């Protein structure tokens, strides 16, 4: 049987939206939250994947983004583009065995997120 496992991590960073007219065109910061959903078969251990493995997979991304100016890494760092960046990084560098990325969510505030599907 398949199940989806979700790991949530956070980082703090500043950004501005250069292609947007409004308040977010100015420099400001957020306490961002990333949710990574991984789907796969439940194995003999009773798990799809260990939560610690997901934390390890996300750690290089957190190291790259935390307490940084996100525009230095992603030119137009909307929540959508940050989610795409994270998904692309995971697809390139992380081998999740028989699991697959179900979604990457990037929460910009506690009530607003963008999601890309696997």
Annotated active-site residue 67? The verdict is yes
Annotated active-site residue 108? The verdict is yes
Q: Which domain holds residue 89?
A: 2-117
Annotated active-site residue 24? The verdict is yes
The one-character DSSP state at 23 is G
Kindly name the residue from 24, 35, 80, 115 that is annotated as catalytic: 24
Separation CA 99–CA 14 (nearest Å)? 32
**pLDDT < 70 positions in the chain:** none
Q: Which long-range contacts (CB under 8 A, 24 or more apart) does 97-102 make?
A: 97/40, 97/49, 98/40, 98/41, 99/38, 99/39, 99/40, 99/48, 99/49, 100/38, 100/39, 100/40, 101/36, 101/37, 101/38, 101/39, 102/4, 102/37, 102/38, 102/39
Kindly name the residue from 44, 67, 102, 115 that is annotated as catalytic: 67
- Digit-coded pLDDT (tens) for 90-105: 999 887 778 999 999 9
CATH number at residue 9: 3.30.479.10
Instruction: Specify the pLDDT at position 97.
Output: 78
Q: Could you give the number of structural domains in the chain?
A: 1
Question: Phi/psi at 89 (nearest 5 deg)?
Answer: -60, -45
Instruction: Specify the pLDDT at position 98.
Output: 87
Report field, pTM of the whole predicted structure over 0.85: yes
């Amino acid at each position: 049987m398949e199940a989806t496992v979700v790991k949530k991590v956070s980082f703090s960073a500043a950004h501005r939206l250069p292609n947007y007219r409004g308040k977010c065109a100015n420099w400001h910061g957020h306490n961002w939250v990333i949710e990574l959903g991984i789907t796969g078969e439940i194995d003999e251990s009773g798990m799809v994947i260990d939560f610690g493995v997901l934390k390890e997979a996300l750690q290089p991304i957190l190291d790259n983004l935390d307490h940084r100016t996100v525009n230095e890494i992603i030119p137009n760092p909307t929540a959508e583009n940050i989610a795409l960046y994270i998904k692309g990084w995971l697809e390139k560098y992380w081998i999740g065995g028989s699991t697959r990325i179900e979604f990457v969510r990037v929460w910009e505030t506690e009530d607003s997120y963008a999601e890309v599907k696997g």
